[in-house]
Amino acid sequence: MALKKGHEVELDIIDAAFKGKGLAKVDGLAVFVPNTTPGDKVKARIIKKKKKHREAKLLEILEPSPHRIEPKCQHATVCGGCSWQHIPYAKQLEFKTQQVRDHIERIGKLDGGIVKDGLGAERDFYYRNKMEYSISNKRWLTEEEIRSDEYVDDSAFAAGLHAPGRFDKILNLKECHLQVPESFEILDFVRNYCIEHGITPYNTFDNEGLMRHVMIRNSHHTDDFMVNLVTYRDEPEIIQKMSDALLEEFPFITTVVNNVNDTKSPTAVGRFEKVIHGPGYIVDQIGEFTFKIHPNAFFQTNTLQAERLYEVARNYAEIKEGDVVYDLYCGVGTLSLFMSKAAEKVLGIELVDVAVENAKFNAKENGVENVSFVKGDMKDVFTQEMVEEFGAPDVLITDPPRAGMHPDVVERLCELKVPRLVYVSCNSSTMARDLQELKEVYELEEVQPVDMFPQTYHIEAVAKLTLKD
């Protein structure tokens, strides 16, 4: 079968694969279909023809998998936020764990048997402590509207999440179950308030309109609750009235902030920021450490699972009294602080200026004096001179971005021969690639997947390595 673009085919989904898509095979050729699960028999249309695979659009479920369930949210099949709501959470965890094993075996050329069963989240919904909703004058049409023979107007005050692959159109949410229920209630209130008071949504093409984003943060360990209203212009009178209305409707809100982004950049980070109500930050904890979280500061979006992830990393590190610990790609220092109690000293290394500033602030706020932070690109600053200045590490933690570690950093680790190495990863495929290079010097003892993002295909993993004799 040629499987040309536009062809409609019947497929048996045999596995969960690339970006959570279902995998089918036709004459040995892989076909990826979103919104499917192993065991489904489906009708699909080929939409992309690649050299070694095809991508298809689901048209109809002919025979549902025994694993298939009804999604909790009406937007699940079109929203990029929850791509696996049609799969029971226990099965999601199985598929994610198998994904890590496959990467360790296929990319890392290592024994997949060392990958432990994934640590699932206590909450598979309402687990995020931050949601960044976007606002636009264009909404994404429903499947029924797209198929309609009649003209359908897509202009609206749309508030929700970007339609997958679209920067200009917003899926106008009627519900969302990722953050606490109050989060969506606030979004809905802001949308209705703006419509009632003639406050315009931002137009990406014309750079007109006022409202751009509503970003909401809540603390797990305290009652703190933040609303960040992101606007295209500074309109203090309008925002003050909106803030007053929010506080009257939702008295549990502890701080309201206005970020003003008057540039063409789609980010929710304003060129300047104004505190409208409260202190301008919320307070939360990871373990015994307290963090002031400002609107644009990085903080792990699943507080409970972040604690479990860090506990796994700390246990793998086996830090002893007198140990020197290096934390590469340390971000705002949460993991550095988490490791600090048992160590003689900890050195965190990070590229981003504001992250280093936040890390130093967090250490000071928590009274931690044995942690230092250095700014710089890892491949440039992670040198012998640094080792001579701060001391040779007994333990090294690395938590790189999705792209994994730069080859120069991997080579440096092989040269340095640190006794104990802990690799924290948000992308098990690039971690496996790096582990393949490290295996000449280090023994991979164990890998623990930790699920930070239920209802999605994403999975974190922590690897424990020790220096070979």
Encoded tokens for 192: 């209705």
CA distance 243 to 257: 9
**Do the annotations mark residue 448 as ligand-binding?**
no
User: Helices (DSSP H) in 250-381: which residue ranges?
Assistant: 303-317, 334-340, 353-365, 378-381
What are the angstrom distances between the C-alpha of 379 and each of 178, 346, 360, 373, 405?
36, 19, 22, 16, 9
**Do the annotations mark residue 126 as ligand-binding?**
no
What are the angstrom distances between the C-alpha of 32 and each of 48, 68, 218?
10, 17, 37
Contact yes or no for 35/11 (Cβ under 8 A): no
Neighbouring CB atoms inside 10 A of 415's CB total: 9
What is the pairing mode between strands 29-33 and 22-26? antiparallel
181-196 vs 236-249: helix crossing angle, rounded to 10: 130
Q: State the catalytic residue, choosing from 79, 176, 330, 426.
A: 426
407-416 vs 428-438: helix crossing angle, rounded to 10: 40
Instruction: Tell me if residue 426 is catalytic.
Output: yes
**Do the annotations mark residue 329 as ligand-binding?**
yes
Contact yes or no for 34/53 (Cβ under 8 A): no
Which stretches does DSSP call E strand in 236-316?
255-260, 272-277, 282-286, 289-293
**Do the annotations mark residue 326 as ligand-binding?**
no
Encoded tokens for 424: 């924290």
89-106 vs 428-438: helix crossing angle, rounded to 10: 30
Where in the sequence numbering do the catalytic residues fall? 426
Binding residues for S-adenosyl-L-methionine: 300, 329, 350, 399
